[in-house]
A and B are shown apart, each in its own frame.
Chain A
Amino acid sequence: DIQMTQSPSSLSASVGDRVTIACRANQNIRNYLSWYQQKPGKAPKLLIFAASSLQSGVPSRFSGSGSGTDFTLTISSLQPEDFATYYCQQSYSTFRTFGQGTKVEIK
C-alpha cells in the first residue's frame, strides 16, 4: 500500500495566520492527491482534489500544491471555522490511503 505521512500532527495558530500542512507519499502518486477537513462528530469534507483543484463552494483561502511525492495544503488566513483536522488522501492506487491527520488548534 502507498503510505501517506502528514506533518505536523498538530499545530496551534491564531486567526489570521497563514497555515501550511505537508503530506508526503512513499512513492510517486503524480497529482492524485486530495485534502479533506473534518470537524468533531462530522464527516470529512472535500477541500482540494487533483492536488490543487479547489472543490466547488470551498473558500479561496484554501489552496493545494505539489506533485509526485510532496504536497502542501495552505490556508492563507486562518478563520475561526477552520479549526479542525485535515487529512490528505491518495487516489493513485485503487487501494486508497489517508494521512494520519493534522489537527489545527486555536493558539
Chain B
Amino acid sequence: EVLLVESGGGLVQPGGSLRLSCAASGFNISNNYMSWVRQTPGKGLEWVSVIYTGGTTYYGDSVRGRFSISRDNSKNTVYLQMGSLRADDTAVYYCARGQGPAFDYWGQGNLVTVSS
C-alpha cells in the first residue's frame, strides 16, 4: 500500500524557517517525481515544488528563492526546506506522488502557520 506521511509543520514566526518531511512507503521515491502542493485555509490548491527522478527541481513563483525541495532515497523521504517565511505561506502542505501526468497519491497534509 502506498502511503505518504508528512511531518514537521507547526507555528513559526515571520522570517523564520521550517523543514517539512514526507515519508513514503509502498514504493521507492527514486522511481517517481514528487511534489509539494499547499492549500490556504478555505481556499484552493497551489502547486509549490517538484523534484524529478534525475534530481531536477522547480518552484512556483511565490516560493522560488525561499524554499528548497530535496529527497533522501535511503530514507525514502522527501523534504521541503522553507525559509524567509511570510504570513501568506500559512497553509496546509501536502506531498504528492507524481505518476505520469497526475498526482496519484497524496499525504494527509501538514499545517504550517506563520504568525508572531
CB contact list, A31-45 vs B, under 8 A:
32, 34, 36, 38, 43-45
Q: Is the CB of B104 within 8 A of A46?
A: yes
CB of B106 within 8 Å of the partner chain: yes
CB of A50 within 8 Å of the partner chain: yes
Bound CA–CA A97/B47 (angstroms): 6
Distance (Å) between the CB of A33 and the closest chain B CB?
8
Known: A50-B101, A91-B102. A44 touches B45 (CB 8 A): yes
Bound CA–CA A98/B37 (angstroms): 10
The number of inter-chain residue pairs (CB within 8 angstroms) is 56
**Contact-size category for B:** 20 to 34
CB of B44 within 8 Å of the partner chain: yes
Contact string, B78-116, partner A, CB cutoff 8 A, digits 1/0? 000000000000000010000011111011110000000
Residues of A within 8 A of B101 (CB): 32, 34, 49-50, 91
Chain B interface, >50% SS class: strand
Known: A43-B109, A87-B44. A94 touches B58 (CB 8 A): yes
Residues in chain B within 8 A of chain A (CB atoms): 35, 37, 44-47, 50, 58, 60-61, 94, 100-104, 106-109
Supplied contacts A87-B44, A89-B103, A101-B44, 20 more A-B pairs, CB within 8 Å = A1-B61, A32-B101, A36-B45, A43-B108, A44-B45, A44-B94, A46-B104, A49-B100, A49-B104, A50-B102, A55-B102, A89-B45, A91-B101, A94-B50, A95-B60, A96-B50, A97-B47, A98-B44, A98-B45, A101-B45
